[in-house]
């Protein structure tokens, strides 16, 4: 019989979403992961998905990466059970239009330049939701501590591991979000 309890430490702490997208067009797949973590870096939830690229004659080749990214991000957002206060993505992995035109996300989204820095070229707040001071402060804290870069790196590594295990048909807790 399970013991009833409440995780008091987790109730008030804001959660951050870390989104990573890894296209491998040569292999005909697009993979992505969404990690939900506490601001101290502790993972709470991890979902991933790998989509096969459709027959290229069905989609214009120059629009294929955007099409696949939209499909992948939708599947990850649908699979995630928790709700982040804000989402960080690696700058360059998604186009700004994804969160400004294609998907209306109701939390702030920040694109972090390599090294997890928000003040570097290529880093910006994306989407239509302006970041509240709480999000700006949390991002600055994560960057200053090096945790932002660490979370981006850990999410990418977890995605590579998950896809490798999935390819080998080994079971993995928190398996593909959708196929």
Kindly report the CATH number assigned to the domain that includes residue 35: 3.30.2170.10
Q: Which domain holds residue 42?
A: 8-167
Residue 3 lies in a domain: no
Confidence label for 127 from pLDDT (cuts 50, 70 and 90): confident
Q: In the chain, helix, strand, coil percent, each to 5?
A: 35, 25, 40
Residue 57 lies in a domain: yes
Rounded to two decimals, the pTM is 0.82
Is 35's pLDDT higher than 90? Answer: yes
DSSP state of 107: S
Q: Which two tokens stand for residue 15?
A: 């959660």
| Domain count across the chain | 1
Strand order of the β-sheet with 109-112 is 43-52, 29-38, 15-24, 86-90, 109-112, 124-126
* Better-predicted residue by pLDDT, 78 or 176: 78
Q: Which two tokens stand for residue 163?
A: 């896809």
Radius of gyration of the chain (CA): 17
pLDDT in tens, 152-167: 999 999 999 988 887 6
How far, CA to CA in Å, does 110 sit from each of 12, 58, 90, 91, 156? Answer: 22, 32, 8, 8, 17
The span from the CA of 53 to the CA of 119, in Å, is 34
Q: Across residues 30-36, what is the average pLDDT? A: 93
Is 49's pLDDT higher than 70? Answer: yes
* Better-predicted residue by pLDDT, 5 or 88: 88
Residue 173 lies in a domain: no
Between 51-65, 93-107, 136-150, the lowest mean confidence (pLDDT) is in: 51-65
């Amino acid at each position: 019989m399970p013991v009833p309890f409440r995780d008091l430490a987790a109730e008030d702490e804001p959660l951050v979403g870390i989104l990573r997208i890894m296209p491998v067009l040569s292999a005909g797949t697009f993979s992505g992961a969404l990690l939900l973590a506490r601001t101290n870096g502790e993972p709470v939830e991890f979902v991933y998905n790998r989509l096969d690229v459709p027959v290229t004659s069905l989609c214009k080749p120059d629009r294929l990466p955007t099409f696949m990214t939209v499909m992948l991000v939708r599947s990850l957002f649908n699979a995630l059970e928790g709700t982040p206060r804000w989402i960080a993505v690696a700058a360059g992995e998604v186009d700004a239009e994804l969160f400004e035109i294609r998907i209306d996300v109701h939390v702030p989204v920040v694109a972090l330049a390599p090294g997890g820095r928000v003040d570097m070229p290529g880093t910006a707040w994306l989407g239509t939701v302006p970041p509240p001071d709480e999000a700006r402060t949390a991002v600055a804290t994560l960057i200053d501590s090096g945790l932002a870069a660490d979370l981006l790196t850990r999410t990418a590594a977890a995605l590579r591991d998950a896809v490798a295990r999935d390819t080998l048909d080994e079971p993995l807790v928190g398996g593909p979000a959708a196929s």
